[in-house]
Amino acid sequence: MFDCGEGTQLQLRRLHLSFSRINCIFISHLHGDHCFGLPGLVATMGLLGRTTTLHIYGPQGVDSLLRPLGESGEGETLPFNVTVHAVDTKREALIFEDRSVEIWSIPLHHRTPCCGYVLREKPLLPHIRRDMTDFYGIPVHALRGIKEGGGWTLPDGRHIPHEQLTSPAESPRSFAYCSDTMYIPEPPASLSGVDLLYHEATFAEADAARAAATGHSTARQAALVAAAAGAKRLLIGHFSARYDDEKTLTEEARAIFPETIAANEGLCIDVGNRR
């Protein structure tokens, strides 16, 4: 999960999303609309009987968000561990890795220490073509080696190459989350080529001075970042309440970056190019 504002629990329930599947929460900065839902969510996880460790990443001081749990006594009765990881918001760094994904933090420029996050899937091994392995009578114990790049030699000496026994895996997907930030003309390297970039677009270009004064971006600036990063699609959000019609912001971004989508509550997007 990226950020945890007020109402997060309500949205999880409304969208029928499982609390137990959240193992890591990445907080971009300590302004309330991005983190005030965290204590309540952690407490509810305890009430639901969670036992696995929850990892929370965020700027220095993110642990203070959990202080209300301790003051109320809730923290002492949690049936699971909460591990907090402080993120250096001034540098690009790999902060999480498992066998499936890598997550990088990237510096953003806001009124308080703030970072974005880039999630990249690791390349998958190719698929075994069972029609071919069955045809050649290749034993099951050899399939792992074939997936990892090997071929197979038949008893008569013929060698069947790896490419003939496999089909390509799906392309690894990538997602970037750029929370509250001023315009960054030269995006961090880890943003390069992401399948989907979420970038705040609080203001229209007519209010660019207000955006700069408050540490935010315009829709046009978000589109410029997407174009400079070579992103495939752009998702804009965090719209100021001054705009009655968000269509203005979407059109402004699309003039620079046509593959722009406006975020809204409950929107589901298929990230990447799955076949």
Q: What residues act catalytically?
A: 33
For residue 78, give both structure tokens.
């949690």
Three-class DSSP category at 153: strand
Q: How far apart are CA 128 and CA 139, in angstroms?
A: 12
Q: Which long-range contacts (CB under 8 A, 24 or more apart) does 75-82 make?
A: 77/46, 78/42, 78/43, 78/45, 78/46, 79/46, 79/49, 79/50, 79/51, 80/45, 80/46, 80/50, 80/51, 80/52, 80/53, 80/54, 81/53, 81/54, 82/42, 82/53, 82/54, 82/56
The answer to whether the beta carbons of residues 19 and 48 sit under 8 Å apart is yes
DSSP 246: T
Q: How far apart are CA 103 and CA 251, in angstroms?
A: 31
DSSP 255: T
The answer to whether the beta carbons of residues 249 and 223 sit under 8 Å apart is no
Q: How far apart are CA 108 and CA 178, in angstroms?
A: 7
Instruction: Detail the DSSP E strand segments found in 31-89.
Output: 54-59, 82-87
Q: How many helices (H) and strands (E) does the chain have?
A: 10, 14
DSSP H or E segment with residue 222: helix 219-229
